Amino acid sequence: MALAFPKTFDASLHEEKLYQLWEDKKAFQAVIDKDKKPFTIILPLPNANDPMHIGHAMFVIEDILTRYHIMRGDPTLWIPGADHAGMETQYMFEKKLAKEGKSRFDFDRETLYKILWDFAEENRAINKNQLKKLGFALDWSRYHYSLEPEIVERVLETFRKLHHDGLIYRGERIVNYCTRCGTAFSDLEINYIERKDSLYYIKYGPFILATTRPETKFGDTAVAFHPGDKRYEKYLNQEIEIQGVNGPFTVKVVADDEIDPDFGTGIEKVTPGHDPLDFEIAQRHNLPVKKVIGTDGKLTELAGRFSGMKVNEARQAVFEAMQEMNLIDHVDENYMHNVATCYKCGTTIEPMVFPQWFVKTKPLAGPAIQAVKNGETKIFPKRRFEKIYFDWMEKIKDWNISRQIVWGPRIPAWYCLDCNEAVQLSFLDKNKKRVSGPYKNVKQTYSFDEIHSGLQSLSAPKDASYQLNHGKCERCHGSNVIQETDTFDTWFLSGQWPVNTLRSRPGDFEYFYPTSVLDTMWDILFFWVGRMMMLGIYLTGEVPFKIAHMHARVVDKFGKKMSKSKNNVIDPAIMINQYGADALRMALVLGVAPASDVSLSDEKVKGMRNFANKLWNIGRFISMGPDNKKIPAFNEKMQGLAPEDTQLLVSFKKLIKHTTNDLDNFRFGRATENLYQFMWHEFADVYIERAKARMKQGDVVVFSVLRYVFSTSLKLLHPFMPFVTEALWQEMFKQEEPLLVKASWPTGK
RNA sequence: GGACGAUUAGCUCAGCUGGUUAGAGCGCUUCAUUGACAUUGAAGAGGUCACUGGUUCGAGUCCAGUAUCGUCCACCA
Tell me the pLDDT band of A1, cut-offs 50, 70 and 90.
Answer: very low
Assess if residue A563 is contained within a domain.
no
Task: Report the nearest residue to nucleotide B3, CA vs C1'.
Answer: A388
Nearest nt (C1') from A391 Cα? B73
In a domain, A28, yes or no: no
Distances (CA, A) of A366 to A160, A401, A436, A618: 21, 19, 43, 56
Q: Identify the pLDDT of residue A561.
A: 86
A526 touches strand B (CB under 7 A): yes
A747 located within any domain: no
Q: Strand B closer than 7 Å to the CB of A266?
A: yes
Of A662, A668, A661, the C-alpha closest to A551 is A668
Q: Does residue A567 sit within a domain? A: no
A10 inside domain = no
Query: pLDDT tens digit string along A445-472?
Result: 999 999 999 999 999 998 999 999 999 9
Q: How far is the CA of A239 from the C1' of B15 (A)?
A: 69
What was the pLDDT predicted at A3? 55
Rg, Å, chain A Cα set: 32
Contact assessment for residue A649 and residue A636, using Cβ atoms and an 8 Å cutoff? yes
Nucleotide nearest to A665 (CA to C1'): B16
Would you say the C-beta of A670 is within 7 Å of strand B? yes
Residues A288 and A417 in one domain: no
- Is residue A457 located within the same domain as residue A587? no
C1' nearest to CA of A596: which nucleotide? B5
C-alpha to C-alpha distance for A489 and A186, rounded to whole angstroms: 9
Q: Residue A262 burial (CB < 10 Å; 0-12/13-18/19+)?
A: exposed
The answer to whether the C-beta of A688 is closer than 7 A to strand B is yes
Verify if strand B has an atom below 7 Å from the CB of A621.
yes
A188 and A335 share a domain?
yes
Instruction: Give the pLDDT score at A5.
Output: 86
E strands, A142-261, in order: 144-145, 168-178, 183-185, 190-204, 207-211, 222-225, 239-242, 249-255
Single-letter code of the amino acid located at A583: A
* pLDDT score of A175 more than 70: yes
Q: Is the CB of A348 under 7 A from strand B?
A: no
CA of A668 to C1' of B26 (A): 20
Q: Give the nucleotide with minimal C1' distance to the Cα of A621.
A: B36
Concatenating the DSSP letter of every residue in A288-326 gives -----B-TTSBB-GGGGGGTT-BHHHHHHHHHHHHHHTT
H or E element at residue A674: helix A668-676
Distance CA(A622)–CA(A644), nearest Å, equals 18
Q: Which nucleotide is nearest to A683 (CA to C1')?
A: B36
Strand B–CB A511 distance below 7 A? no
Nucleotide nearest to A558 (CA to C1'): B12
| Residue A286 sits in the same domain as residue A394 | no
Give the domain extent around A284. 183-351
Query: pLDDT tens-digit profile of A106-157?
Result: 999 999 999 999 989 888 888 899 999 999 999 999 999 999 999 999 999 9
Q: What type of residue sits at position A110? A: E
Out of A442, A462, A485, pick the residue that ends a domain. A485
CATH number at residue A156: 3.40.50.620
Q: Per-residue pLDDT for A403 more than 60?
A: yes
Q: What is the largest CA-CA distance in chain A?
A: 108
**Is residue A2 over pLDDT 70?**
no
A547 and A601 in a single domain? The answer is no
A451, A485, A519: which is the final residue of a domain? A485
Between A222 and A336, name the one with better pLDDT.
Answer: A222
Range of lowest pLDDT (A48-52, A204-208, A606-610): A48-52
pLDDT (average), residues A736-742: 96
What's the CATH code of the domain at A615? 1.10.730.10
Closest nt to residue A593, judged CA to C1'? B14
Protein-covered nucleotides of chain B (CB closer than 7 Å) are 3-6, 11-15, 23-27, 35-42, 70-77
pLDDT digits (tens, 9 = 90+) for A281-294: 999 999 999 999 99
Q: How far is the CA of A436 from the C1' of B59 (A)?
A: 73
Check if residue A384 sits with its Cβ under 7 angstroms from strand B: yes
A209 and A158 fall within a common domain: no
Whether A109 and A129 map to the same domain: the answer is: yes
Nearest nucleotide (C1') to alpha carbon of A691: B36
* Distance in angstroms: CA A52, C1' B22: 40
- CB burial of residue A375 (10 Å; 0-12, 13-18, 19+): exposed
- Position A253 in a domain: yes
The 10s digit of each residue's pLDDT in A629-671 is 889 999 988 988 999 999 999 999 999 999 999 999 999 999 9
pLDDT score for A187: 86
Residue A619 CA and nucleotide B14 C1' are separated, in Å, by 29
Q: How far is the CA of A598 from the C1' of B25 (A)?
A: 13
The gap between A678 CA and B47 C1' (Å) is 25
Identify whether residues A317 and A388 lie together within a single domain: no
**Contact between the CB of A212 and strand B at under 7 Å:** yes
A377/A443 same-domain check: no
What are the pLDDT digits (tens) for A471-517?
A: 999 999 999 999 999 999 999 999 999 999 999 999 999 999 999 99
Whether A340 and A314 share a structural domain: yes
Q: Is the pLDDT of residue A233 over 50?
A: yes
A510 touches strand B (CB under 7 A): no
- Please check whether strand B approaches the CB of A674 to within 7 Å: no
Average pLDDT over residues A317-335: 93
Q: How many domains does chain A have?
A: 4
A635 lies in the same domain as A657: yes
Percent of chain A with pLDDT over 70: 99
Is pLDDT at A380 greater than 90 in this prediction?
no
**Cα–Cα distance for residue pair A91/A405, rounded to 1 Å:** 10
Separation of A725 CA and B71 C1' (Å): 37
Answer yes or no: are the C-beta atoms of A268 and A209 closer than 8 Å.
yes
Give the Cα separation of A216 and A307 in Å (integer): 11
Q: Torsion angle, CA of A177/A180/A182/A183, rounded to 10 degrees?
A: -40
| Residue A407 maps to a domain | no
Reply yes or no on whether the pLDDT at A590 is more than 90: yes
Over 90: is that where the pLDDT of A214 sits? Answer: yes
Asked whether residue A187, judged by its CB, lies under 7 Å from any atom of the DNA or RNA strand B, the reply is: yes
Last residue of a domain, one of A464, A485, A506: A485
- Give domain status of residue A559, yes or no: no
Answer yes or no: do A388 and A416 share one domain. no
Under DSSP, is residue A639 helix (H, G, I), strand (E, B) or coil? coil
Question: What integer best gives the mean pLDDT of chain A?
Answer: 93
Chain A window 578-597, residues with Cβ within 7 A of nucleic strand B: 591-593, 596-597
CATH number where A325 lies? 3.90.740.10
